[in-house]
Amino acid sequence: MEQQRTILVTCALGVSQVLSQEIKEHGYLPLKVNPLSVELKGNLRDCMYLNLHLRTASKVLLLIKRFRAPHPDQLYQVISKIPWEDYLRTDGYICVTSFISNQFILDTRFGNQKVKDAIVDRIFSQKGKRPNSGPNRDESVVYLHWLNDDCHLYFDTSGETISKHGYRRIPFKAPLRESLAAALIKSTCWKPGMPLINPMAGSGTLAIEGALMAAGIAPGLLRTNFGFMHIRQYQADLWETLREEATRQITQEVTSEIIINDQSLEALRAAKKNAEWAGVTSFLKFQSGDFTKMEIPDPPGVIILNPEYGSRLGEVQQLTKTYQAIGDFFKSKCAGHWGYIFSGNPDLSKNIGLRTSRKMPFYNGKIECRLLEYELYKGSKKND
């Protein structure tokens, strides 16, 4: 397992360029950037490191084998020749997941079953015992990508997705996924040391991700179980060394003023609890009240809001006033800062009334969104 293999790091749609840059920051060379993933070369140790440190990723997949399989029978034959007994324990548990698009498989569960049968039959033939299998992703996970007759078979070294960073115990309404929040922060002009203001914070995910970055806390430190821990080549002492190195990078000297504000006391309670689980409470300043009445620290800093998008007419009419208020807030109180709005409603966004300097496409689930950037000069001009 220590030879160099293809590593495929997956992410949400719209995040791959941010993920590619993050991978470079950790000293790796992205070889290919796809809409939903970034490819690089490495081994199991590298997968462990990436699972520990990446903020904007969903999964870290390690290639086992690439091959052609024009029919499910060939799929079984090839997979059953792989020495699974060298990789998986007979007393372990296997979950098979997949993306399949070809003329033979109408239900991915059939393809998953073929893969599972090939693995356990091989192990039984070599060891006289077979591991258990099922849908749980808390032990060994094998992932099949089968498009037409082209098969890629991977170990999912993450297991459960790493897009969740483990601290959000109280989500409150429809929160941003942690990996998306991290990607949004990384797409702004913010750098640790600058003020970061989240005036409509909800459960606090954007500000908490900023605080984790400012303190140098690797998101994987908050997790205790990964898929790679259930592969025979896993070295617990190496993982402990990686964790110790990451722990030494944490700083208590966070100079960024990071402000969480929300009008809802329930939202603030959720944000405080989540910040406590993340270990960043001491780096955050919590405020309650109407965002338009906030005191904003001296510039330059970043002010980022994720207002609701509205799905019904009455909501949209009410939100029109909210978006107008955000624009007025930017103009009256935020001169010298950078302002950002993350929204999935372009018509509502026009009510900000300011000219954007950038519009960055992302997806929040299936909703196409934009991260809108405003350079907030005094007397900013309206859109033409």
283, 258 contact by CB (below 8 A): yes
* Tens digits of pLDDT across the chain (384 residues): 578 999 999 999 999 999 999 999 999 999 999 999 999 999 999 999 999 999 999 999 999 999 999 899 999 999 999 999 999 999 999 999 999 999 888 888 999 999 999 999 999 999 999 999 999 999 999 999 999 999 999 999 999 999 999 999 887 777 799 999 999 999 999 999 999 999 999 999 999 999 999 999 999 999 999 999 999 999 999 999 999 999 999 999 999 999 999 999 999 999 999 999 999 999 999 999 999 999 999 999 999 999 998 765 557 788 999 999 999 999 999 999 999 999 999 999 999 999 999 999 999 999 999 999 999 986 545 543
Which residue do the tokens 């979950």 mark? 95
User: Coil, strand or helix: which one is 331?
Assistant: helix
User: Coil, strand or helix: which one is 61?
Assistant: strand
Task: Quote the pLDDT of residue 104.
Answer: 81
Distance CA 117, CA 119 (A): 5
Whether cis (ω within 30° of 0) applies to the bond prior to 300 is: yes
| Cα dihedral value 321, 289, 187, 164, nearest 10 | -110
Q: Which residues of 357-381 are buried (b: 16+ CB within 10 A; e: fewer)?
A: eeebebebeeeebbbbbbbbeeebe
- Extract the runs of DSSP E, i.e. beta strands, from 271-337: 284-288, 302-305
The CA–CA distances, whole Å, from 237 to 35, 54, 146 equal 35, 21, 35
Task: Quote the pLDDT of residue 312.
Answer: 56
Tokens of 206: 């954007």
Please name every residue paired with 197 in a beta bridge, in sequence order, or none if there are none: 259, 303
User: Coil, strand or helix: which one is 328?
Assistant: helix
Confidence (pTM): 0.95
Task: Quote the pLDDT of residue 266.
Answer: 94
Task: Quote the pLDDT of residue 179.
Answer: 98
The CA–CA distances, whole Å, from 378 to 116, 294, 328, 336, 340 equal 63, 18, 12, 7, 16
Q: Residue 357 is which amino acid? A: S
Task: Quote the pLDDT of residue 380.
Answer: 47
Residue 156 neighbours by CB under 8 Å, 6+ apart: 59, 60, 61, 97, 137, 141, 142, 143, 227
Phi/psi of residue 357, nearest 5 degrees:
-95, -25
End-to-end CA distance of the chain: 58
Tokens of 371: 């991260």
Q: Residue 190 is which amino acid? A: W
Tokens of 25: 């920051």
45, 238 contact by CB (below 8 A): yes
Question: Domains in the chain and their CATH numbers?
Answer: 5-156 (3.30.2130.30), 178-216+252-375 (3.40.50.150)
- Cα angle: 283, vertex 289, 293; to 5 degrees: 95
